Amino acid sequence: MISPFTEEQQRFLRLLELPVPGRPAAGEGASSQPALPKAAAAAPSPRQEPAAAISAPAPTPLAAQPMVPAAPVRDAAAQGQRETVIAGLSWADLAAMVSGCQACPLGATRQHAVFGAGNPQGRWLFVGEAPGAEEDRRGEAFVGRAGQLLDAMLKAMGLERGRDVYIANVLKCRPPNNRDPLGPEVQECLPYLHRQIALIRPQIIVALGRFATQGLLQVDTPLNKLRGTVQHYGEIPVLVTYHPAYLLRNPIDKRRVWEDLKKARQIFSELNGALPEAR
């Protein structure tokens, strides 16, 4: 059987230790675990009423990592049924499902699930990796130091999160000690992000950091090779840049991020005409 995934997407699935369609798993005829859903969005639904980088953090020493219970085992049929249910939810019902989600072990270690922040009817969508400690405490996306820097970046673009922008994460729960997301956690959470995108119907997406970019686009391409290029989620243009938390540690790269954001503004302007003046 010919795989419907590109070679690049197949590499990403293997990176997450998920089966690649058309390739039997080692030692068996076929895996019962489903592949990560494709990034291309379904036909957009009508807008619904509204109801850190953490990129490449230093790994936690093995001895200091908390014991994490195993993720629930779900066969392909059950996983597909779950994704079908999520794909039909309204904004309010989706937020409620995320709030009570226990699909992976992060549900047992979080304080709050973080659905997102901003205007769900905004034309810009910024996607990060996962909540940090302050976001986990307050239940809102990008409210710590990285969030303050992101707000400054938005202001420089002539945007406001409560007016023009919605902000979401690939993961809705904070990984303990801000460790890297695990493949099964990404697999369980991605259907939520896909549904958010279908409901928001943004005209442009900005991916913040390596994990947000690779999770959203389902590739394993290094971040530096994707920066400066226009990627796509379905038909939506995606611009890739560094996570604000990375910039807090590496302020010298703020100039590169500003170049990325100017390119995003240019693409948006070509789609819509004049933008608010950048400051």
Residue 226, token pair as written in the block: 């994707």
pLDDT tens, N- to C-terminus, the chain (279 residues) = 455 556 655 555 455 454 444 554 444 443 333 343 333 333 334 444 444 333 333 433 433 444 444 445 567 788 888 999 999 999 999 999 999 999 999 999 999 999 999 999 999 999 999 999 999 999 999 998 999 999 999 999 999 989 999 999 999 999 998 888 888 899 899 999 999 999 999 999 999 999 999 999 999 999 999 998 999 999 999 999 999 999 999 999 999 999 999 999 999 999 987 554 554
Contact at 8 Å (CB) between 112 and 141? no
Residue 151, token pair as written in the block: 């707000």
The residues that bridge with 231 in the sheet, in sequence order, are 238
pLDDT for the residue numbered 57: 39
- The strand order across the sheet containing 124-128 reads 117-118, 165-169, 124-128, 204-208, 236-241, 230-233
The CA R_g of the chain, rounded to the nearest whole Å, is: 18
Model confidence, pTM = 0.72
